[in-house]
Amino acid sequence: MKRFHLPPLACIGLSAVAVLVACLALSSLFVPKNNQASFGQIDEAAFGVLGEPSDSLDVLFVGDSEVYTSLSPLQMWNEQGFTSYDIATSGQPLCYSKTILSHALEKQNPRVVVFETNMIFRKMKADQILWREAANLFPIIEYHNRWKHLTPADLTAQPKTTWTHPAKGFRPNEQVVPSKIRDHMKPTTDRERISPLNEWYLTSMIDMCRDRGIKVVLLSTPSTKNWSTQRHNAVQAFLDSKGYGSDVSYLDLNFDGTEVPIDWQVETSDAGDHLNIKGARKVSHYVGDWLRTNYRLTDHRGESAYRQWTQASANLG
Amino acid sequence: MNGHIINSFCSLAFLGAFVPATALIYTLSPQRVRPWVLLLASYACFWLISGKLLVLLIATTLVTYLTGLVLGRVRAEQREAVAGTRDRAERRAIKARYRNRSRMVVGFSALASVGILVSVKYLGFLGGIASSLGTLVGFEWHLVPPKIGVPIGISFYTLQALSYVFDVYRSTIEPERNPMRLALFMGFFPQLMEGPICRYGETADQLAAGEPIRTDNLVNGLVRIAWGVAKTIIVADRLNLYVKPVFADYTAWSGTVIALGAVLYTFQLYCDFSGTIDIVIGVGRIFGVRLPENFRQPFFSRTASEFWQRWHITLGAWLRDYVFYPVSLSSPVKRFARGARKVFGTRTGSVLSGGVALFCVWILNGLWHGSGWQYLFFGMYYFVTILASGLLEPLFSGMRRALKIDPSARPWIVFQVLRTWTIVFVGELIFRAEGVRAGIGMLGRIASGFSPAALIDGSVLAPGMDAADFAVVALFAVAMLFFGLWRELGCRTPRPALQHRIGISCAALAAICVVIIVFGAYGQGYVPLDPIYAQF
């Protein structure tokens, strides 16, 4: 009897399918079973947003360390009464911002999404983007290192997201290291280049928000090290070229004499790179007031559904 | 390495996008166009790694091509001139005249190719030496090298260029008239980062053939690539957790940790380099190009010189053919050999005269790896070790006979292999150390602070790797030892039919891919290792 043989190319295709199926199957095994670091969750402070009750957040702040050191959701709650969360991670590239934002928008329908602009200029390597997109399809790629900590419970447990960050993603720094830069935001008409890939990711995130009827704010938090007039001009030119109108606003807090005068001798934790808690208080106060005024955000203080916010605020003092 | 878009051959950008795109265009192109596809892909790859420094590769290629043509012309003129006379003395004189002209052409070409290499890679180092010497004689000056960066693989393609010129000079090969063929030989993209260093006769015809991609080549190439990626991502990148902190500040660690760091670095270097070579050979295989092997189970070597015949084979062979033999056979060394044999006896004299060529080989080997004193020290370490083993061989033989040791007995072979390991571990420690002083300091710390107890009480786990990481490395090492032993003993499995082979290979490919995805040291908590040999 003649034996059946698969054609060689079918063999290759079959092995590719086998790898993909294995990745899918292993993904459900390896994915953390709760959104905490103790369960293997990566970037738990940002992913704590998934632990917030559905449709309970008014504002999402997206970005890198500039966000989680400058914007305090609990201060804004105390002063303005709206809810917000810092979905920020250290050195966040735009491809990762899109991933975290997509996860957050599966559960939340905020009025405003604020993108901190420093990440717009962060270079992304081709490999970084490919890995990110692959990890979005197959979480095993993100969580493969959990093989060291797998338990029998991982075989049966369903992933839950019950944990939220006590300060809603805000991670302040108390250190004081003065900035020596004297010519921050020197006037110029030059502008830095936004790479096409970065522009594509930013545009796709803005479109994702606009499709859901969410207003977008591009926010440049004060930083003598990361921000410049050239960068400001680039963001402004980007917005001018897109013509988003009132859907997208731009707020740059770096210019001298603006509403948030930062004392760079005492309000930065690392020579102008990030703000410390004192600087963060000023920025959070101003941004909270600006958002509530411009987007008519509801004051939820006193509403029973938002009791955990009052509790969280009390816990942090 | 600038790492503009592709920063490693293990990257998704290279393996997941660049190679498949090139293979697709190659397949869709007519056969006569395929070498051009490979050349364009090679230059595109170079551009994606080193940007505009591509111009240096093109410059070296151009110089090499023109040298080949000029040498060919000189040879043709010599033939004509010799044919025009029957007088033997006159023929000899003509040959000598044309030989001198050829030598001048070769010298100019070598000067140009090596000049480019030196100016981008060694000028800072040489400038430092010159400044120090100037200071010694009371003359203050500083040579500031141009900051243009080092193009990827310059040490590899320069040696290929030189080998082509030398081979044309020796009439081993005919000068190439088609510049595309030479350009492809010099810049074939899989070889760009870490070699292997090929000879023109080995790969030029295969590259220019434009053979279609065959299924068996594709499958075998993919399996070889997957195995290489596994070595690199599972082992080499994981070991970086341990090796990096130990070598960054050796004073923070005990002698035992430093000793283990040296052992793990050697294994890391092997997995990184041989893993990349597996990828290179696998990619070459997909396009129907058989590239030479660069490793042959080096850790089964019984002597240091045997180790270097099995590790980075193509560099060793290059140095043997273009440095060791020419120096050994040069008139001054021959004269020295005659004198040494008279003074020290035949055996010792021969070893000593061979030592002159050996010195040249090892100083060049050390310098080829980098512009730093530790690389020279590394080269001299092997020169002294190999020369000493040659000089002391009669003494060792006598001791073996006195102790009635059978040189073919297994325990003796195991002892020799372990002795070679020790020599290699020390060599790699010197090689990886942050300078000569740090290398000596690390060796001193091992000598004064090695404690076997630390291997048991768990304190060796301190730098970065946990027990699970060690378990993965150990399992992989056992698998590699098994395959190495299998090859070393010349074991053969019955060769199944082609279709079965493809089926088995596909299953192996899928399994290796899943193992890499799960156990690879990538993502959060891991910093991928820059390909080590790509920096040379």
Q: Which residues of A touch B509 (CB under 8 A)?
A: 12, 15
* A28-39 confidence digits (pLDDT tens): 999 999 999 999
**DSSP characters over B430-450:** HHHSSSHHHHHHHHHHHHHH-
Predicted confidence (pLDDT) at residue B535 exceeds the cutoff of 70: no
Backbone angles phi, psi at A62, to 5 degrees: -110, 135
Predicted confidence (pLDDT) at residue B3 exceeds the cutoff of 50: no
> In whole angstroms, how far apart are CA B12 and each of A90, A134, A142, A313?
23, 10, 15, 45
Predicted confidence (pLDDT) at residue A110 exceeds the cutoff of 90: yes
> In whole angstroms, how far apart are CA B405 and each of A259, B400, B416?
88, 5, 12
* A67, A120 contact by CB (below 8 A): no
Nearest chain B CA: its distance from A77 CA (Å): 33
Q: Which residues does B71 contact at the CB level (< 8 Å), separation at least 6?
A: B102, B105, B106, B165, B168, B169, B175
* B356-383 confidence digits (pLDDT tens): 999 999 999 998 888 788 889 999 999 9
Q: Is A2 on the interface with B (CB under 8 A)?
A: no
Predicted confidence (pLDDT) at residue B525 exceeds the cutoff of 80: no
Query: CB count, 10 Å around CB of A313?
Result: 17
Predicted confidence (pLDDT) at residue A202 exceeds the cutoff of 90: yes
Of A18, A130, A145, the CB nearest to B16: A130
Q: How buried is B276 (Cβ within 10 angstroms: 0-12 exposed, 13-18 middle, 19+ buried)?
A: buried
CA pair distance B266, B243, nearest whole angstrom: 10
Q: Which residues of A touch B499 (CB under 8 A)?
A: 5-6, 8
Nearest chain B CA: its distance from A258 CA (Å): 39
Residue A288: pLDDT band by 50, 70, 90 thresholds? very high
Which of A2, A4, A5, A12 is the best mutation test for B, with the most CBs of B within 10 A?
A12
B337: tokens are 């050999």
Question: Where do the domains of chain B lie?
Answer: 12-212, 213-291+451-536, 302-423
**DSSP characters over B446-488:** HHHH--THHHHSSGGG-SS--HHHHHHHHHHHHHHHHHHHHHH
Enumerate domains of chain A plus CATH numbers. Answer: 10-316 (3.40.50.1110)
Predicted confidence (pLDDT) at residue A316 exceeds the cutoff of 80: no
Torsion of CA B125, B127, B128, B132, to 10 degrees: 140
* B380, B296 contact by CB (below 8 A): no
Q: Which residues of B touch A134 (CB under 8 A)?
A: 12
Q: Which of residues 144-203 of A touch B (CB under 8 A)?
A: 144-145, 147-148
Omega of the bond leading into B30 within 30 degrees of 0 (cis): no
- What is the DSSP pairing of strand A112-116 with strand A84-88? unpaired
CA pair distance B282, B228, nearest whole angstrom: 9
The pLDDT value recorded for residue B1 is: 44
Nearest chain A CA: its distance from B215 CA (Å): 6
Interfacial residues of B (vs A; Cβ cutoff 8 Å) = 3, 5-7, 11-13, 16-17, 215-216, 218-219, 222, 466, 468, 499, 502-503, 506-507, 509-510, 513-514, 517-520, 522-525
* B460-494 confidence digits (pLDDT tens): 777 788 889 999 999 999 999 998 888 888 877 66
The pLDDT value recorded for residue B499 is: 63
Average pLDDT over all residues of chain A: 93
Q: Which residues of B touch A126 (CB under 8 A)?
A: 5-6, 11-13, 17
* A255, A153 contact by CB (below 8 A): no
Residue A289: pLDDT band by 50, 70, 90 thresholds? very high
Nearest chain B CA: its distance from A132 CA (Å): 10
Residues in chain A: 317
Task: Name the closest residue on chain B to residue A144, using Cα atoms.
Answer: B518
Q: Where are the beta strands (DSSP E) in A46-198?
A: 59-63, 84-88, 112-116
Strand partners, B295: B311
Q: What is the mean pLDDT of residues B393-414?
A: 89
* A154, A29 contact by CB (below 8 A): yes
Contact call for B216 and A6, based on CB within 8 A? no
